């Protein structure tokens, strides 16, 4: 696993090479504090066994305390049942998506271990650290959260900040990186209004790094600030809607 931050009590790790074939590239993030772990957006079935094996080298059994689902997409939630069956962890998912989760084959007996996240967000305690689940609705999912770790000062942004097709794990040249993000953000992110609310919100946080779920990370305060400014000025989603669609012929 790749280290993003480490002090004697606290570690932020990620893996970015578990996807294969037709799967979209994804980063799986893990935070460990005083022997307690949380996994963020753990991914689908094919990733589950590989990630679980990697986690076992970092955490004692029963060390995984929490599982965070930023939203309801299959690349995030499809293996929810597996994770809940083999660990005692508690999972967190937007209250909006709770009724959909049985469709992913989550067993009755473990569904009670999923805590619905209210629209306003909440705090999850990891070995004493208050991790903040920050509302980021409509970016892209209508019930969507990001996670801020106040120790490492990393903001985990889920699909926001996602990039495709780059070979590098960390952004160095922001302007050169923009084309790798544009297509996804223009089509999937709801609109500029939602981005401006988000930008105003996260400007209240001290951010050293922005870590999306797909593609390259923004590894410095300066690159994180550049990303926030880019996002708050982006026209996307419903901003770009035509007046009327042509009827397919
Ligand atoms: Fe998604």
DSSP 14: E
CA of 9 to the centre of ligand 1 (A): 31
CA of 37 to the centre of ligand 1 (A): 23
Whether omega before 231 lies within 30 degrees of 0, making that bond cis, reads no
Rounded to two decimals, the pTM is 0.97
What domains lie within the chain, and their CATH numbers? 2-236 (3.60.15.10)
CA dihedral of residues 222, 224, 229, 235 (deg, nearest 10): 150
Residues 17-66 have pLDDT tens digits of 998 888 888 999 999 999 999 999 998 888 888 999 999 999 998 999 99
Buried/exposed code over 199-216 (b: 16+ C-beta within 10 A; e: otherwise): beebeeeebbbbbbbbbb
CA of 140 to the centre of ligand 1 (A): 7
Residues 87-134 have pLDDT tens digits of 999 999 999 999 988 888 888 889 999 999 999 999 999 999 999 999
CA of 95 to the centre of ligand 1 (A): 16
Task: Report yes or no: 217 and 171 within 8 Å, Cβ to Cβ.
Answer: yes
Neighbours of ion ligand 1 (CB under 5 A): 73, 159
CA of 162 to the centre of ligand 1 (A): 10
CA of 43 to the centre of ligand 1 (A): 11
């Amino acid at each position: 696993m790749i280290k993003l931050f480490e002090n004697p009590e606290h570690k932020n790790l990620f893996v970015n090479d578990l996807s294969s074939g037709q799967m979209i590239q994804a980063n799986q993030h893990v935070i460990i504090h005083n022997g307690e772990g949380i996994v963020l957006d753990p991914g689908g079935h094919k990733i589950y066994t590989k990630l679980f094996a990697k986690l076992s080298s970092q955490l004692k059994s029963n060390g995984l305390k929490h599982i965070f689902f930023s939203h309801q997409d299959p690349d995030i939630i499809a293996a929810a049942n597996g994770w809940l069956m083999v660990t005692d962890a508690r999972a967190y998912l937007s209250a909006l998506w709770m009724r959909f989760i049985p469709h992913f084959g989550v067993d009755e007996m473990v569904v009670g271990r999923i805590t619905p996240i209210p629209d306003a967000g909440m705090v999850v305690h990891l070995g004493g650290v208050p991790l903040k689940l920050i509302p980021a609705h409509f970016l892209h999912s209508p019930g969507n959260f990001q996670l801020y770790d106040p120790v490492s000062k990393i903001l985990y942004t889920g699909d926001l900040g996602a990039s495709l097709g780059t070979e590098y794990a960390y952004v160095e040249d922001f302007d050169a990186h923009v084309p790798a993000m544009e297509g996804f953000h223009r089509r999937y992110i709801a609109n500029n209004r939602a981005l401006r609310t988000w930008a105003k919100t996260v400007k209240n946080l001290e951010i050293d790094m922005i870590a999306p779920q797909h593609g390259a990370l923004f590894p410095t305060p300066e690159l994180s600030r550049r990303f926030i400014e880019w996002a708050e000025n982006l026209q996307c989603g419903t901003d770009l809607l035509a007046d009327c669609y042509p009827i397919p012929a």
